[in-house]
Amino acid sequence: MNDSTLQYRAATTKDLPTLVAMLADDALGALRENPALPLSKEYLMAFASIDEDPNNELIVVELEAQIIGMLQLTFIPYLTHQGTWRCLIEGVRIHRQHRGQGVGQALFQWAIDRAKHRGCQLAQLTSDKQRPDAIRFYESLGFVASHEGFKLKLN
């Protein structure tokens, strides 16, 4: 895909129905997301918190004024690695009609450039082990599964 045809911008509340629908459009997302309209207030509250936090960015990628991808960047200061910043990349989705066309690679290059611009020394992400295609994609971009991740559900 020619990256010059893609547009990147911060998401707005107007985008939320499209974003939640994209999050719900796979086997795992269908189990945990609810794209029914009107969206639940929790999505609106989460968006407001992300939007107000200078260390969080919810980004969409558009092609011909249509949202075709998204991700969230969280910039985290660390004491480790001599007090450097990291960029956590989460909530990555490419619309199913645009997968395999280079959109994901372009979106990640944009995100990595954004992390560098913010002074980050490391970009990191997690991926569910049930997403082998996503894991292969991240590895193709140079991400290395160097750590074992753990999660604890709190509710």
Q: What is the average per-residue pLDDT within 39-51?
A: 97
pTM of the model: 0.92
Per-residue pLDDT tens over the stretch 123-138: 999 998 989 999 999 9
Distances (CA, A) of 107 to 13, 81, 89, 94, 104: 21, 27, 11, 9, 5
Q: What confidence score (pLDDT) does residue 78 get?
A: 94
Domains within the chain, CATH numbers bracketed: 3-140 (3.40.630.30)
pLDDT of 33 higher than 80 = yes
Q: What confidence score (pLDDT) does residue 27 get?
A: 84
Q: Looking at 78-136, which runs of residues are DSSP E strands?
A: 85-94, 120-125
Q: What confidence score (pLDDT) does residue 3 get?
A: 66
Q: Which two tokens stand for residue 62?
A: 């558009």
